[in-house]
Amino acid sequence: MADDAGSGSNDDGPQESSGVLESDAVTHAVDKVGRFTGAAMPAWLPKAFILFFTLQLLFQVADGMVTALRTLMLIGLVSLFLSLAIEPAVNAFARRGMKRGLATGLLLFTITTVGLLFVGAIGSVAVQQTRELAQDAPGYIDDLERFLNDRLDTTFEFDSLSQQFTSDSGALSDFAQTAAGNALGIGSAAVAVLFQGFTVLLFSFYLVAEGPKLRRAICSTLRPAQQREVLRAWELAIAKTGGYLYSRVALALLSGLFAFVVFRLIELPYSLALAAFVGFVSQFIPVIGTYIAGVFPIVIALVNDPVKAIYVAVFLIVYQQIENYLLAPRITARTMALHPAIAFASVLAGSAILGPVGTLLALPAAASIQAFSSTYVRRHEVIDSPLLDSYERRPRRARPVHESADSPDS
């Protein structure tokens, strides 16, 4: 019995002891898990939440400000490039004794007047030719119908197409009614464009007329070594941007002059406006600008006489070759010539980022970037490799002399 009692007491002792140990282990595990499951939040977690939401709020505020100020920043960018373009001419007038404000005003007035005359001339041509085309379209359609039926022995009928131009319910009448209904919106857009243009002219005037004071104010906050670098970069931007634009303007004038002579010789209507359009578009849209510029005069020539359209196309192709090999290398030799691929890619990028304004700013921007890279990037001598050889008129090298098969060693 004693043994039983002793054995029983011995049995109960280890069970109770193991129960206590298991309870302590479970409690320790629960406390350990609680610390990692959020019962006790880490000290860094609230700070991380606050930082995340603060950055999110700042990003939304910055995005809203950029969206609201996009037009103003675009105006500032256009004004900057315009000021860089005209400052060499203003400096030339200032060295001859003319006040900077007067010289800047005269140049901006000239640019504005020429631009308005150009837009007005092209607009009048487009409106007049569109009206004439709409009036003569039924006759052209009838001529096309007779030509196809006589040559191909067919029975084509384009009565429904002719009705689109003649009937009151046709597509042309619908287009006219839609345009008349949107007249208020078009007028408001025109006023907005004029206001933005006036703002660009005002900013450009102050950037050029007060240019020395502006640069002096900026340099006063910098050390002498930094001042020299800023002024060097500024001078480089003025020289390359202005020089590149002047070379484009010179080529545009030559292109427009030759186009005007040819258009007058073939008696193409609106020769002056069409020549100005060809000169501007062919020089400020790289690579394919000449062909885009030729579409408008070719279409107008087709309306009047198909033979004239052939003359216009031949002139554009021949003049493009003359410009590429004779005129452009001489004019751009003292300024900067962009590689066609770089120029075309820059125009596409500018158009994608800023739209039509980016298309016009892409070329001077690319020229300035190329000027900075050529000045500040170190160049090295290029190694000799077949991949770097264009194989154009390459002199034939003498073959190495090998030992003949009759030599004693063979």
Give domain limits for the chain: 48-178+185-210, 222-376
Contact 282, 289 (CB under 8 A): yes
* pLDDT at 159 (0 to 100): 60
First to last CA, the chain: 118
Instruction: For the chain, give the secondary structure using H, E and C.
Output: CHHHHHHHHHHHHHHHHHHHHHHHHHHHHHHHHHHHCCCCCCCHHHHHHHHHHHHHHHHHHHHHHHHHCHHHHHHHHHHHHHHHHHHHHHHHHHHCCCCHHHHHHHHHHHHHHHHHHHHHHHHHHHHHHHHHHHHHHHHHHHHHHHHHHHHHCCCCCCHHHHHHHHCCCCHHHHHHHHHHHCHHHHHHHHHHHHHHHHHHHHHHHHHHHCHHHHHHHHHCCCCHHHHHHHHHHHHHHHHHHHHHHHHHHHHHHHHHHHHHHHHHHCCCCCHHHHHHHHHHHHHHCCCCHHHHHHHHHHHHHHHHCHHHHHHHHHHHHHHHHHHHHHHHHHHHHHCCCCCHHHHHHHHHHHHHHHCHHHHHHHHHHHHHHHHHHHHHCCCCCCCCCHHHCCCCCCCCCCCCCCCCCCCCCC
C-alpha dihedral sign at 358, 359, 363, 366: positive
Whether the predicted model's global pTM rises above the 0.75 cut:
no
Of 251, 249, 220, the residue nearest 111 (C-alpha): 249
Q: Answer for the pair 347, 285: CB distance below 8 angstroms, yes or no.
A: yes
Rounded Cα gap, residues 372 and 235, in angstroms: 11
How far apart CA 364 and CA 338 sit, in angstroms, is 10
Instruction: Give the C-alpha separation, 164 to 167, whole Å.
Output: 6
* pLDDT at res. 158: 61
Give the number of other Cβ atoms within 10 Å of residue 99's Cβ: 12
Nearest to 341 by CA among 286, 284, 381, 273: 286
Q: Which two tokens stand for residue 205?
A: 């005037």
Are the CB atoms for 298 and 147 separated by under 8 Å? no
* Closest of 350, 90, 42 to residue 209, by C-alpha: 90
The answer to whether the beta carbons of residues 252 and 284 sit under 8 Å apart is yes
Copy the structure tokens of residue 68.
């609201």
Give me the residue label for tokens 């037009």: 71
Give the closest residue to 346 by CA, choosing from 361, 336, 330, 324: 361
Q: Give the C-alpha separation, 132 to 102, whole Å.
A: 45
CB neighbourhood size of 395 (10 A): 5
CA distance linking residue 340 with residue 275, whole number of Å: 24
pLDDT of amino acid 9: 47
Residue where the block lists tokens 């004029």: 194
Assess contact for 328 and 251: CB atoms under 8 A.
Answer: yes
Tens digit of pLDDT at every position of the chain (410 positions): 444 444 444 455 545 455 444 555 545 544 554 454 545 667 788 888 889 999 999 999 988 888 888 888 888 888 888 888 888 889 889 999 999 999 999 999 998 998 888 778 777 777 776 677 667 666 666 666 676 677 676 666 666 655 555 555 555 555 555 555 565 666 677 777 788 888 989 999 999 999 899 999 999 999 988 899 888 888 888 887 777 778 888 888 899 899 999 999 998 888 888 888 888 888 877 667 777 888 888 888 877 777 888 999 999 889 888 887 787 777 766 666 666 677 777 777 887 887 777 777 777 777 777 777 776 777 778 788 777 776 555 555 545 444 444 444 43
